Structure 1
């Protein structure tokens, strides 16, 4: 009789143990290995050259030769806050970019009241695709972005030199990132940035804008990203 009670109790304890193990284990089903995180990145953008940059309303010529009115300044930079979901990243970027007045020997501006530089403050929403390489700390990436740009007037005429204009902004980029740690990445690549639609007065303030700016530049970018 005592043996029956002992074996009954042992069986009950065993069943309870198995039941507890079943409920405490992970549920059966697919387990997602999707990588998600927020990140902040800081970067320097070096404008290598203007690319089809045009200022309608201002001419820059040497005899009959037409030259670009602007040249690279190597003054550009930005910061962004974003979200990474597996191989896709989306971020909001604030960017500063600048092109300087060109200085080709013998060439002249018409009119002569031309600002020393054209500066652009822009905000863009970017989407990136990271091309993952298994067991490698290096990740190639491509990205595109659209947004708005706030541009300074190319004319330095006293009545209009402080005018600013809004334009549509866009960019495309490609590069490579390197995992220093799981939380820190270094990256470098090539970048195209452009903006159009900003208009300004040339000499005096009026409702008719005589200057239209197509801002377009090719450059390089390098920076650091912090995941958290």
Structure 2
């Protein structure tokens, strides 16, 4: 009968040990998740005005069409977000603009109508996926965002007080981040940004919205993020 007492005591000790571990070190998805808030600041270099056009204004030589706008290489913004494991969500504000494209022997039709620059002030909600690499300070990321942009008039002189219009905006980006410290990260990558739906009148009070702006750029981004 002694062996029965021995096994009973061993079983009781095991149950007490497991119970103590369960209460002292809770497990589950909440305790395992890495969560934090962050802010980031960035520079965006608009390298190529891909697909950018203004319906209602042509810019061509013979039968060859040219983009009415060219990169300014000046753009930047900031964001506030929340990170949970490999997923990040943030709200971002970005300012960028494109310059008037001056090409020899190429003319605008109608002539001298285009503004010297076209600006886009956008607000977007972004979602990212960080591709974690174990024991590495470098983390690739991909992300998409949607929101709205305020596009300035494409005309040298605004008509009907149409200095700017709101339009749909979206973007996609990919890159890598580097951990300087657990709280500070540097990142760099590529970014596509597009906005469509800003329609402007050609003349005062015509109400036709014939100038349809497609603001579409591909560029590079670099910035710093602070976790807290």
**Structure 1 contact 160–202 (Cα < 8 Å) conserved:** no
- Tell me what 1:26 maps to: 24
| SS of 2:155 mapped into structure 1 | coil
Q: How does 1:64-213 map to 2 (within 5 A)?
A: 64-111=63-110, 112-157=112-157, 159-160=159-160, 163-213=163-213
| TM, length-normalised to structure 1 | 0.86
| TM, length-normalised to structure 2 | 0.86
Higher deviation after alignment, 167-176 or 198-207: 198-207
For the residues of structure 1 that align with 2:22 and 2:141, how far apart are their CA atoms?
41
Q: Deviations over 1:92-124 (max 9, x none)?
A: 000111111111111001122210011000000
- Alpha carbons of 1:51 and 1:28: their partners in 2 closer, same or farther (altered >3 Å)? closer
How far did 1:161 drift?
A: 7.3
For the residues of structure 2 that align with 1:139 and 1:158, how far apart are their CA atoms?
46
- Tell me what 1:7 maps to: none
Q: Deviations over 1:153-189 (max 9, x none)?
A: 1011354575211110000000000000000000000
- Tell me what 1:35 maps to: 34
| SS of 1:115 mapped into structure 2 | coil
**Structure 1 contact 139–176 (Cα < 8 Å) conserved:** yes
What number of residue pairs does the alignment pair up? 210
- Alpha carbons of 1:157 and 1:122: their partners in 2 closer, same or farther (altered >3 Å)? same
For the residues of structure 2 that align with 1:172 and 1:23, how far apart are their CA atoms?
45
Unaligned runs of 5+ in 1: 1-17
For the residues of structure 1 that align with 2:108 and 2:218, how far apart are their CA atoms?
24
**Structure 1 contact 157–202 (Cα < 8 Å) conserved:** no
**Structure 2 contact 166–198 (Cα < 8 Å) conserved:** yes
Unaligned runs of 5+ in 2: 1-15
Q: Deviations over 1:53-100 (max 9, x none)?
A: 110011101122211111111011010000000000000000111111
What is the root-mean-square deviation of aligned Cα atoms in Å?
Answer: 2.1
- Tell me what 2:4 maps to: none
For the residues of structure 2 that align with 1:29 and 1:60, how far apart are their CA atoms?
64
- Tell me what 1:8 maps to: none
How far did 1:213 drift?
A: 0.5
- Tell me what 1:46 maps to: 45
